[in-house]
Amino acid sequence: MGILDNFRVDGKIALVTGAGRGIGKASALALAEAGADVVVAARTLEQVEQTAAEAEAFGVRAVPVAFDVFEIERLGELVAVATEQLGGLDLLVNNAGGSFPKPLLETSVKSFEKAFSFNVTTAFELTKQAVPAMLARGEGAVVNISSAAGRLPDRGFSAYGTAKGALTHLTRIMAADLNPHVRVNAIAVGSVATSALEMVLTDDNLRQTMEANTPLRRLGTPEDIAAGVLYLCSPAGSYLTGKILEIDGGIESATLAMGLPDLEPPTA
């Protein structure tokens, strides 16, 4: 068997959240191209239907599910779709997440807790729901999509950065709990050219600034991350668990400052 065969996931069944676009879609398509059947979930039905159609072009089965991961008590239904319609579950990509930056003193407890729930609690609960189905098939692999924001101090990211930092460490703890049959790893992504980032890049100057502040002098693509997802899910990554794969262009600091001013004491 050649080395490239280790990147095949033929016969595996995957569940990818946030799979309607961006990193989630690219990850689902990478797994499908490598041979996995996929359940693709996101809030917008039209988007996941498109992802499923593109996945099926690789000759695998794909099931689109319109689902909001904020309905945490229903996350087990996604696992049920995989087991009932595709026959089981082997691979889970916890991709759904996000949060908009905001100055610390303007970040409410509600928005802070919402960021934590969206980025951490959903991955925690969906992994719990998925593990019995994985063990029923002998083994499994989980990939959490985290962020460089979880390790880099940057103004405006108290909610998102804290949540991603928590997801990063949750990955290590879940790996310890689930050894040796279910591997759990994460990818800490840098600045990736997705539709979410395009909302921030309102002009070419901002993009050029981010590129200039990235050692590799470009933004990442969803496919850059998807390649890492495939590696961690496939036999090629079978000796990794509890690890954080940093796919970020080499950054060690924020690539685009939010421009938030210093807090100053009131003048007399």
CA–CA separation, 256 and 157 (whole Å): 12
Q: What is the pLDDT of residues 190-221, one digit of tens each?
A: 989 876 666 566 677 888 888 999 999 999 99
Q: Look at residue 187 in the predicted model and tell me its pLDDT.
A: 98
Superfamily of domain 3-247: NAD(P)-binding Rossmann-like Domain (3.40.50.720)
- β 37-42/62-66 pair status: parallel
**DSSP at 219:** -
Q: Look at residue 75 in the predicted model and tell me its pLDDT.
A: 97
**DSSP at 247:** E
Sequence-ordered strand ranges (E) for 20-168 = 37-42, 62-66, 91-94, 140-147
- Packing angle of the helix pair 158-178, 109-116 (nearest 10 deg): 30
Residues of the chain whose pLDDT is less than 50?
A: none
Q: Look at residue 195 in the predicted model and tell me its pLDDT.
A: 64
Q: Look at residue 207 in the predicted model and tell me its pLDDT.
A: 83
Query: In Å, how far are 259, 260, 262 from 155, measured between CA atoms?
Result: 8, 7, 10
Active-site annotation, residues: 160
Q: Using an 8 Å Cβ cutoff, are 18 and 93 in contact?
A: no
Three-class secondary structure of residue 94 per DSSP: strand
